[in-house]
């Protein structure tokens, strides 16, 4: 039941070691393996490697397997090595000789490549959707709390006035840049490697442009050697995009953990969204954001982990690449959970008002005082010295008015412009084209 096996049984210990977690992880790719096969067999019929009747039989059986996968009734049996073998074995059992023909013109190498590309496309759409939801929540909070002032810090020392509008909006705009990174990963993922076979093409007259269209890819990985070299590179670039989102989430989570602390006390959450202590009855711990911080720091290590697993591999396929799934697949799940949980928590955040009335924040307004003198004609360096001396001798009396009007400041958040940037990058993913192609593939 191994599509590569001849007449010698592999040692059981060798088989266990080499298969590893493939059966478990391949289940996540099962639907995409069927989609790749549906496109491949339609192309095979166009070049006369399948008859029209055989194509109908194979398509019907593949679509039935797809339905079984969608309903959770598909399993990869212990005697079967991977998802490719399971699908082909099921086909052969159900429809006979036609099932044995579907591997013509492809290898497990390009089969797993196209499975991964299709799977990653779906994963990217999920991560983009969840990031977009978090973005909208942040923009909403920024607009709602734009007039509530907040201490700004440099070196974790009180620095200048900020606002919740600025704070929420900062993380929203950070997600825009993260989506630019994810768009780059999408563009690299959305290229078709199918037809590269074992990495050196095929003597069959394959129509690779046809499978590219059928699967909704933007274009081909043209060079068959490079198509195989894309394994590992695609994962690393996707991990880098994920790492960018994770960095934004981890930093925001750290801010939340500080701001909820009683010594800051800028924000709070309903008690049911926090945890307590087994001995200290007053505790309301931000465990959710602590776990988001740690999970996202772990994700930030992922690109380096993938690089270390693939560095200095020569061209061509190597079994090392199998292990990438063990690192990347759970990280995708974890990032989606962090995005969803961050959005949920922020839907219930409670923001304090009047924070800067506390006298310990008086020095936040020192720059405002310097700028006021400068606006009245005092040279900036002289104004800086004057205000500095009042601070040193204890006579500083701050004004608390904040007059920031330039783009991106307290009084001019530019949230509409930030939303415009996000909408611009989201539109470039063009998920609808992919959905349309897959729906058409499954329909006929």
* DSSP H or E stretch at residue 422: helix 415-427
Q: Say which DSSP state 313 is in.
A: P
pLDDT in tens, 88-112: 999 999 999 999 999 999 998 999 9
Contact 342, 174 (CB under 8 A): no
pLDDT of residue 423: 98
Is 60 exceeded by the pLDDT of residue 6? no
In this structure, the strands spanning 350-351 and 157-163 are unpaired
Name the percent of the chain lying above pLDDT 90: 81
Give the C-alpha distances (Å, rounded to integers) separating 411 from 135, 174, 364, 405: 21, 20, 17, 5
Give the pLDDT band of residue 214 (cuts 50, 70, 90): very high
Q: How far apart are CA 96 and CA 248, in angstroms?
A: 53
Measuring CA to CA, which residue among 185, 282, 279, 175 is closest to residue 234?
185
Q: How far apart are CA 55 and CA 42, in angstroms?
A: 7
Q: How far apart are CA 368 and CA 403, in angstroms?
A: 8
pLDDT of residue 4: 47
pLDDT in tens, 236-246: 999 999 999 99
Work out whether the CA dihedral 74, 80, 86, 90 comes out positive or negative. negative
Q: How far apart are CA 286 and CA 270, in angstroms?
A: 11
Find residue 158's DSSP bridge partners: 153
pLDDT of residue 444: 64
Phi first, then psi: give them for residue 314, nearest 5 degrees.
-70, 170
pLDDT in tens, 306-342: 999 999 899 988 888 989 999 999 999 999 999 999 9
pLDDT of residue 277: 67
pLDDT in tens, 266-303: 999 999 998 876 778 777 888 999 999 999 999 999 99
Q: Which of 117-126, 187-196, 364-373 has the lowest mean pLDDT?
A: 364-373
Q: Say which DSSP state 314 is in.
A: P
């Amino acid at each position: 039941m191994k599509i590569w096996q001849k007449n010698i049984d592999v040692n059981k210990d060798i088989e266990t070691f080499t298969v590893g977690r493939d059966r478990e992880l391949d289940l996540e790719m099962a639907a995409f393996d069927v989609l790749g096969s549906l496109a491949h067999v339609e192309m095979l019929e166009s070049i006369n490697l399948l008859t029209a009747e055989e194509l109908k039989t194979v398509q019907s059986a593949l679509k039935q397997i797809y339905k079984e996968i969608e309903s959770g009734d598909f399993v990869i049996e212990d005697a079967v090595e991977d998802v490719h073998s399971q699908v082909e074995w099921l086909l052969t059992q159900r429809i006979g000789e036609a099932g044995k023909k579907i591997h013509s013109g492809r290898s497990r190498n390009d089969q797993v490549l196209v499975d991964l590309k299709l799977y990653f496309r779906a994963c990217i759409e999920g991560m983009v959707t969840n990031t977009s939801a978090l973005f909208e929540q942040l923009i909403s909070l920024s607009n709602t709390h734009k007039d509530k002032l907040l201490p700004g810090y440099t070196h974790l020392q009180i620095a200048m006035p900020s606002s919740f509008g600025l704070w929420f909006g900062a993380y929203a705009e950070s997600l825009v840049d993260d989506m630019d990174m994810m768009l780059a990963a999408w563009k690299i993922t959305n290229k078709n490697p199918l037809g590269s076979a074992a990495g050196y093409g095929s003597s069959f007259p394959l129509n690779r442009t046809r499978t590219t269209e059928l699967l909704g890819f933007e274009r081909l990985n043209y060079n068959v050697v490079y198509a195989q070299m894309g394994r590992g590179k695609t994962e690393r670039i996707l991990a880098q995009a994920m790492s960018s989102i994770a960095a934004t989430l981890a930093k925001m989570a750290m801010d939340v953990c500080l701001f909820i602390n009683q010594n800051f006390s800028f924000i709070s959450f309903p008690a049911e969204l926090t945890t307590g202590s087994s001995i200290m009855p007053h505790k309301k711990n931000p465990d959710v954001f602590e776990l988001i911080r740690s999970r996202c720091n772990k994700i930030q290590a992922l690109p380096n982990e993938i690089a270390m697993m693939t560095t200095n591999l020569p061209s061509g396929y190597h079994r090392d690449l199998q292990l990438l799934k063990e690192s990347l697949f759970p990280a995708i799940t974890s990032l989606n959970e962090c995005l969803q949980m961050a959005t949920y928590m922020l839907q219930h955040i409670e923001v304090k008002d009047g924070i800067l009335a506390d006298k310990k924040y008086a020095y936040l307004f020192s720059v405002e005082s310097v700028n006021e003198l400068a606006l009245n004609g005092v040279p900036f360096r002289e104004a800086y010295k004057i205000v500095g001396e009042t601070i040193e001798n204890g006579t500083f009396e701050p004004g608390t008015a904040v007059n920031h009007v330039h783009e991106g400041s307290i009084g001019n958040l530019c949230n509409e412009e930030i939303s415009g940037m996000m909408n611009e990058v989201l539109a470039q993913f063009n998920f609808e084209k992919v959905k349309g192609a897959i729906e058409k593939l499954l329909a006929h």
